[in-house]
Amino acid sequence: MSFCRLDLEISYICDTNRSPPNTLLFSALVGAGYQLISVVFCVIMFAIVGELYTESGSMLSKDIFVYAATSPINGYFGRSLYARLGGRMWIRQMLVSAFTVPVAVCGTAFLINFIAIGYYASRAIPFGTMVAVTCICIFVILPLTLVGTVVGRNLDGQPDFPCRVNAVPRPIPEKKWYMEPLIIVLLGGVLPFGSIFIEMYFIFTSFWAYKIYYVYGFMLLVFSILTVVTVCVTIVCTYFLLNAEDYRWQWTSFMAAGSTSIYVNAYSFYYFFFKTKMFGLFQTAFYFGYMALFSGALEIICGTVGYVGTNLFVRKIYSNVKID
C-alpha cells in the first residue's frame, strides 16, 4: 500500500508540471505582464527624479516611449516560458505577445476618438497621431519583441521539470465547494485590493478630477506593497488548491492575483456615479473605456506577479523530487 501511495503522490507531483491549457495565450500574457511591470516602475522612477506632472502630455509620451523600449522584456520572458511549456508556434506567440496590449489600447482609444469626433470634442486625437502610434507598433515594438524572443528562446527556453509529465492527466478528486478554482479566483483579489484602496481614490481623482498628482514616492511604496501582498495571497490560494490534489494551478494563480482588477473595476462604477458629474455618451464611453484598459493592465500585472511568485513556491516545495 505504501508503494501504491508513493506512486500516486509521484504522479500528482509530475502533473503539477503539466502545461496549462491555452499555453500560447498564457505565455503571451505573462510576457506582457513583465513588460507592464517594467513600464510602471520606470515611469514612477522618472516621475520621482523629474517633474513629469508639471509638463502637459509628458507622462503619456514617456509611457509610449518606455513601453516601446521595454518590448524585448516581453519577448524574452514570454518566449522562454512558452518554450519551457513545450510550445512550438513561436511566431504566433510572438505576435500575440507583442500586440495584445497595443491592440487593446489602440482599439479602445480609436473607438472613443470616433465618438469624440462625432461630438466635435477637443479631446479628439488627430489622425496623424493615430498613424504615428500604429507605426510605432509595427516598426518599433514588433522588431524589439522579436529580438527578445530570439534571446529568450536560446538562453532560457529549455524545460527544467523535475520529472516527466504523464501523457494522461491524473483525475482530480472531488473537493469542497470553497476549494474550487472559481471561488479561489474570486477571493484572491480581496486583500490586494484592500492594500491599494486608499491609493485608488487619489489616482482616480488625479485622472478624472484633473488634480495634479505628485506623491510618486508613495505610489512606488503602494506598488511594492501590492506586489508583496499579491504574491503572498496567491501562494496561499495555490497551496489550498494543491492540497486538494488539483494541479491546475497556473491559470488559477494568474487569475486569482488578477482578480484584483474586478474590485478595482467595481470601485470605478461607484466613483463614476457618486464622485463625478459625467453624463452623456461621450463622457461615459471615455470614462469606462479607459477604466477598462486600466483594469485590464492591472489584471495582467497582478496576474504575472502572482504566477511568478507561485511558480517559485511550487518549484521550491517539489525541488527535491528527481524522477525520470
Q: Is residue 14 part of a domain?
A: no
Based on the fold, state whether residues 132 and 179 are members of the same structural domain: no
Q: Which pLDDT value is given to residue 295? A: 94
Number of domain units in the chain: 2
- Among 135, 158, 181, which residue terminates a domain? 158
Please tell me the predicted confidence (pLDDT) of residue 115. 85
Q: Answer yes or no: is 27 within a domain.
A: yes
**Cα–Cα dist 314/311, whole Å:** 5
> Are 119 and 216 found together in one domain?
no
* Structural domain contains residue 7: no
Q: Are residues 320 and 209 in the same domain?
A: yes
Asked whether residue 12 is domain-assigned, the answer is no
Provide the greatest CA pair distance for the chain. 77
Residues 151, 185, single domain; the answer is no
Predicted local distance difference test score (pLDDT) of residue 228: 95
> In the prediction, which pLDDT does 25 show?
94
Looking at residue 229, what is its pLDDT? 96
Contact (Cβ atoms closer than 8 angstroms) between residue 37 and residue 105: no
Both 308 and 250 in a single domain?
yes
Phi, psi torsion values for 198, nearest 5 degrees? -65, -40
Which domain covers residue 29, as residue numbers? 22-158
DSSP string, 140-192: IIHHHHHHHHHHHHHHS-S---SSPPPSSPPPPPP--GGGSHHHHHHHHTHHH
The reply to whether 67 and 118 lie within a common domain is yes
> Which pLDDT score is estimated for 322?
54
Pair 182, 321 in one domain: yes
Q: Is residue 203 part of a domain?
A: yes
Q: Are residues 197 and 297 in the same domain?
A: yes
Question: Does some domain include residue 269?
Answer: yes
Between CA 97 and CA 153 the distance in angstroms is 14
Measured at the alpha carbon of residue 222, what is the angle toward residues 220 and 227, in degrees to the nearest 5? 95
Domain limit, last residue, from 134, 158, 182: 158
Distance between start and end Cα atoms, the chain? 22
Please tell me the pTM assigned to this model.
0.91
The domain boundary residue, chosen from 130, 158, 186: 158
Is residue 234 in some structural domain?
yes
Tell me, what's the pLDDT at 205? 86
Same domain, 125 and 41: yes
**Are residue 152 and residue 287 in the same domain, yes or no?**
no
Kindly state whether residues 207 and 276 are assigned to the same domain: yes
241 within domain boundaries? yes
pLDDT given at position 248: 85
Which segments in the chain show pLDDT lower than 50? Answer: 1-8, 54, 56
Q: Are residues 179 and 79 in the same domain?
A: no
